[in-house]
Amino acid sequence: MNNVKIKSKNLNVYYGEKQALFNVNLDLNEKEVTALIGPSGCGKSTFIRCINRMNDVIDICKVSGNIEIDGVEINDKNLDVVSLRERVGMVFQKPNPFPKSIYDNISYGPKIHGKGETKSELDEIVENSLKKAALWEEVKDRLNEPGTGLSGGQQQRLCIARAISVNPEVILMDEPCSALDPIATAKIEELIDELKKTYTIVIVTHSMAQAVRVSQKTGFFHLGKLIEVGKTEKIFKNPDNKMTQDYITGRFG
């Protein structure tokens, strides 16, 4: 069992009047993939958006309770969100490359955080990030072409490379394969397997099969509550909770 990297305690989230998360207590382990499953609108995405404070962007969203990364409280008004997000990268449901060249898509993050002072340092970061995202071979000859011109799967790997470029500790993935075909999905899953050696990964997914394939730990959310969490194997073979059992066997959701 790896060390706990992220720890949430009594986490509550409200969108205006509506409460989206209820007292979520969830520990995520270092250098491991944790999958969050559950029907749409159950709060899985809301939960991972708390980890890099992306909910700050939404005016009506209020978060209470605690989230610690390496024992440091991040749900704190005085926390520097910029450096938090440098440590916690995110990949979204729909690939969202910037309308810039492939190179500029990757170098964007390092430039913002003052990494890669010289051109050659930047080149190196771009190359390494693309290599880690298993995209380098496909795009090395066209780094100056727009990132939006790539295929959907390539775009998503570009977004993963973009997240890696600032050398984060945690990568959050919000249904990263939901807009991709099976082949592209397989590539991303392979990549996730490789990335977990270096990074702590949290992935939200609607595909049970995907959760089984990529994760070591799985959490099941329903209506804003964390119903059950445990080793992926256990959750899918022998869950404690009846509701989890029903969901993974496809009886609802």
Partner 1 sequence: MNFVLIFLITIFSLSLFFYGRSKTKSIAIEKNIKLNALPKFYGYYLVLWCSIPSLVFLLIWSLFEPVIIKSIIIETAANQGAIFNDKNEANLIYEKIKAIHLGTYFGDIDSILRESALAYAKFINLFTNSKVVLIFAIVIVSVIYSLKKINKNNKARDDVEIILKGLLFVSSLIAILTTLGIIFSLLFESIKFFSVINIFDYLFGTNWSPQRAFVRDASSITAAEFEELKDAFGFIPLIAGTTFIAFIAMLVAVPIGLFSGIYMAEYASLKIRRISKPIIEILAGIPTVVYGFFAALTVGPFFRQIGENFGLTVSSESALAAGLIMGIMIIPYVSSLSDDVINSVPQSLRDGSYAIGATKSETIKKVVIPAALPGIIGSILLAVSRAIGETMIVVMAAGLAANLTINPLESTTTITTQIVMILVGDQEFDSPKTQSAFALGLTLFIATLILNYIAQRAVKKYREKYD
Q: In which residue are the tokens 């600032």 written?
A: 166
Q: What is the pattern of x (binds partner 1, CB under 8 A) and - over residues 165-204? A: xx--------------------------------------
232: DSSP letter: H
Segment lying near partner 1 (by CB under 8 A), choices 35-43, 61-69, 109-117, 195-203: 109-117
Measured CA to CA, the distance from residue 126 to residue 107 in angstroms comes to: 6
Short-list 85, 100, 111, 92, CA closest to 146: 100
Measured CA to CA, the distance from residue 165 to residue 38 in angstroms comes to: 30
Segment lying near partner 1 (by CB under 8 A), choices 26-34, 98-106, 123-131, 183-191: 98-106
Of the candidate residues 40, 78, 99, 141, the single one contacting partner 1 (CB under 8 A): 99
**Which C-beta is closer to partner 1: that of 46 or that of 52?**
52
| Burial of residue 207 (number of CB atoms within 10 Å: 0-12, 13-18, 19+) | middle
Measured CA to CA, the distance from residue 175 to residue 204 in angstroms comes to: 5
Measured CA to CA, the distance from residue 215 to residue 161 in angstroms comes to: 20
Contact 144, 90 (CB under 8 A): no
Least CB distance to partner 1 at residue 104 (A): 9
Least CB distance to partner 1 at residue 55 (A): 11
Of the candidate residues 15, 98, 179, 246, the single one contacting partner 1 (CB under 8 A): 98
55-74: which residues touch partner 1 (CB under 8 A)? Answer: 57, 59
77-96: which residues touch partner 1 (CB under 8 A)? Answer: 81-86, 89-90, 92, 94, 96
Structure tokens at 67: 């989230």
147 is a contact residue toward partner 1 (CB under 8 A): no
Residues that bind partner 1 (CB under 8 A): 52, 54, 57, 59, 81-86, 89-90, 92, 94, 96-100, 108-109, 112-113, 148, 159, 162-163, 165-166
